[in-house]
Amino acid sequence: MSLNNLVATNNNKWDFLELGDLVEVVAPASSSEPRDFNNALRFVHKFGLVPRAPKNIFGKDILCANTDEMRFRHLKKALTAKDSRVLWSLRCGYGSLRLMPYLIKLKKPSQPKLFIGYSDTTGLHNFFNNYWDWPTVHGSMLEELGRGEGGKRELLDFYSLIFGLEEEMQYDTLVPMNAKARKKSVIRSKVVGGNLAIISATMGTPWAFTARGKILVLEDIGERGYRVDRMLVQLQQAGVFKGVRALIFGDFVGGEENREEDCLYLWRDVQKKFAKEAHFPVLKGLPFGHGVFQRPIPFNTASQLHLGSSPWLRVKVK
């Protein structure tokens, strides 16, 4: 079947790519070293696509790739360009939430774009999913892929996803963490979420994260047990878990405690306690986040979560 025949007519769905299409390379967060930047562009070329990055993508800023104003100008130009369909974040780090006061004022473009990124860009995922009702993809940054950090399965997933070779993605490594997750049933909803720390940082803002009626997925890096607990409690007290259909923990990396070896990663016990107290299904084992092995996951598309002793998740590509 021709890819042209797979192009969706829904104005909230992006179009599949074809070889030679443009990819907007954006840097909404931290900067990259010249070598990493050039390798990222080479990766896009190897994927059969053409990268397009602003000539002044990097500038002088104490924390980010450029000033807030310049990073938003680049993001806006990429979002509104008529000749491209995908925005792929160069790297994560810090800074994307600083763009939200600008982004909230931007009129929704008539042509949807697919945004790819993770970690610090969780705030952008939330905005595109909940304000513009666009699908996005939680997946590796170009800098990582340019360094050769993507595994064969991950690269195949990306290729199948953006070129429309598969209609859905399936994740069958899930593990139930409470009785509600072990009870056999099917939840039909959409997947949203991302980095726990970034989601927590949106609380109290006009663009606070919401997951009502959705399947929520969470990941993080370098957070000790008490900090993971504090963020989960914050989300609970802010009402984020109200109406959530299910929650799936992805990779939690690092966060070692200054304790005995059997308590090295206290966040594991925090997650178990959370699952026991939750009034909705809680699972773990989704391969996404900062781990060595991660798979891209479409957000805000039709999904099915099959619960039971051997749960699995199926997500439509768009």
Strands (E), 125-271: 136-138, 168-171, 175-176, 185-195, 215-221, 246-253
Same domain, 8 and 78: yes
Give the residue, 15 or 74, on which the prediction is more confident: 74
> How many structural domains is the chain composed of?
2
Residue 74 appears among annotated catalytic residues: no
State how far the Cα of 28 lies from the Cα of 97, in Å rounded to an integer: 9
Q: Out of 31, 32, 119, 303, which one is annotated catalytic?
A: 119
State how far the Cα of 210 lies from the Cα of 219, in Å rounded to an integer: 16
Q: Out of 89, 96, 290, 303, which one is annotated catalytic?
A: 290
What confidence tens digit (pLDDT) does each residue in 201-257 have? 999 999 999 999 999 999 999 999 999 999 999 999 999 999 999 999 999 999 998
Spatial neighbors of 252 by CB under 8 A, at least 6 apart, are: 219, 220, 221, 223, 228, 265, 267, 268, 271, 289
Work out the widest C-alpha separation in the chain, in whole angstroms. 58
Same domain, 154 and 178: no
Same domain, 236 and 124: no
Same domain, 145 and 19: yes
Residue 125 appears among annotated catalytic residues: no
**Is 261's pLDDT higher than 50?**
yes
Bridge partner residues of 304 (DSSP):
188, 314
CATH number for 228: 3.50.30.60
What confidence tens digit (pLDDT) does each residue in 61-82 have? 999 999 999 999 999 999 999 9
Same domain, 130 and 255: no
Bridge partner residues of 175 (DSSP):
284
User: What pLDDT is attached to residue 157?
Assistant: 95
- Residue 44: give the domain boundaries: 3-162
Q: Out of 24, 143, 154, 219, which one is annotated catalytic?
A: 219
Residue 290 appears among annotated catalytic residues: yes
**Is 167's pLDDT higher than 60?**
yes
User: pTM of the prediction?
Assistant: 0.93
Confidence of residue 9 (pLDDT cuts 50, 70, 90): very low
